[in-house]
Amino acid sequence: MDNYQAPLRDFRFLLEDVFDANQLWERLPGMSGVSTDFVRTVLEEGARIASRELAPINHSGDREGCEWADGTVTTPQGFRQAFTALGEGGWLSMNGNPDYGGQGLPKMLTVLIEEMFYSANTSLFLYGTLTAGAAYCIESHGTEAVKRRYLPPLYDGRWGGAMAMTEPQAGSDLGLIRTRAEPQADGTYRVKGTKLYLTGGEHDLTENIIHLVLARLPDAPAGTRGLSMFLVPKFLVDERGALGRRNKLRSLSIEHKMGINGSATSLMEYDEATGWLVGEPHQGLATMFTMMNYERLSVGMQGLGLSAIAVQSAGAYAQQRLQGRAPAGPVHPDESADPITAHPDVRRMLLVQRALVEGGRAFAILVGRELDLVRYADDDDEREQAAAFVGLLTPVAKAFLTDRGLDCCVLAQQVFGGAGFIVETGVEQFVRDCRIAQIYEGTNGIQAQDLIGRKVLRDGGATLSAFVDRLRAELPRDARHYAATTAEFDRLIAVTADLIERCEQDPNLAGAIATDFLELFGYTVYAWLWARMDACAGADEFGQAKRYTAQFYFDRVLPRADALVRGIRADSNALMAVPDAMF
Ligand X SMILES: Cc1cc2nc3c(=O)[nH]c(=O)nc-3n(C[C@H](O)[C@H](O)[C@H](O)COP(=O)(O)OP(=O)(O)OC[C@H]3O[C@@H](n4cnc5c(N)ncnc54)[C@H](O)[C@@H]3O)c2cc1C
State the residues that interact with ligand X by CB under 6 A.
Answer: 163-166, 171-172, 197-199, 257, 265, 436, 439-443, 445-446, 449
CB of 71 to ligand X, least distance (A): 18
CB of 118 to ligand X, least distance (A): 15
Nearer residue to ligand X within complex by CB, 186 or 580:
580
Nearer residue to ligand X within complex by CB, 198 or 452:
198
Rounded Cα gap, residues 511 and 499, in angstroms: 12
Phi (first) and psi of residue 231, to 5 degrees = -95, 120
CB of 509 to ligand X, least distance (A): 14
- Per-residue burial over 15-27, b if 16 or more Cβ lie within 10 Å, else e, is bebbbebeebbee
CB of 539 to ligand X, least distance (A): 46
Residues listed for the chain: 583
- Using DSSP, state whether 426 is helix, strand or coil: coil
Sign for the CA dihedral angle at 230, 291, 115, 111 comes to negative
* Sequence letter at residue 334: D
Residue whose beta carbon is closest to ligand X: 171
Rounded Cα gap, residues 166 and 43, in angstroms: 35
Of 114, 115, 441, 519, which residue is the catalytic one? 441
Nearer residue to ligand X within complex by CB, 43 or 229:
229
- Select from 134, 129, 128 the least CA-distant residue to 232: 134
Indicate the pairing of strand 265-278 with strand 243-246. unpaired
What is the DSSP code string of 41-79? HHHHHHHHHIIIIIGGGHHHHHHH--EEETTEEEPPTTH
CB of 438 to ligand X, least distance (A): 9
- Using DSSP, state whether 209 is helix, strand or coil: strand
Rounded Cα gap, residues 247 and 69, in angstroms: 18
CB 198, CB 66: distance < 8 Å: no
Nearer residue to ligand X within complex by CB, 162 or 537:
162
- Using DSSP, state whether 323 is helix, strand or coil: coil
Nearer residue to ligand X within complex by CB, 462 or 576:
576
* Sequence letter at residue 85: A
- Select from 82, 126, 203, 122 the least CA-distant residue to 426: 122
* Sequence letter at residue 278: V
Chain-centroid distance, C-alpha 161: 17
Question: What angle (nearest 5°) sits at the alpha carbon of residue 116, between those of residues 111 and 122?
Answer: 100
Nearer residue to ligand X within complex by CB, 61 or 368:
61
- Using DSSP, state whether 577 is helix, strand or coil: coil
Termini Cα distance of the chain:
41
Chain-centroid distance, C-alpha 272: 33
How far is it between the farthest Cα atoms of the chain?
85
Nearer residue to ligand X within complex by CB, 267 or 373:
267
441 catalytic residue (yes or no): yes
Nearer residue to ligand X within complex by CB, 127 or 467:
127
Nearer residue to ligand X within complex by CB, 163 or 503:
163
CB of 449 to ligand X, least distance (A): 5
Rounded Cα gap, residues 361 and 356, in angstroms: 8
* Residues assigned a catalytic role: 441
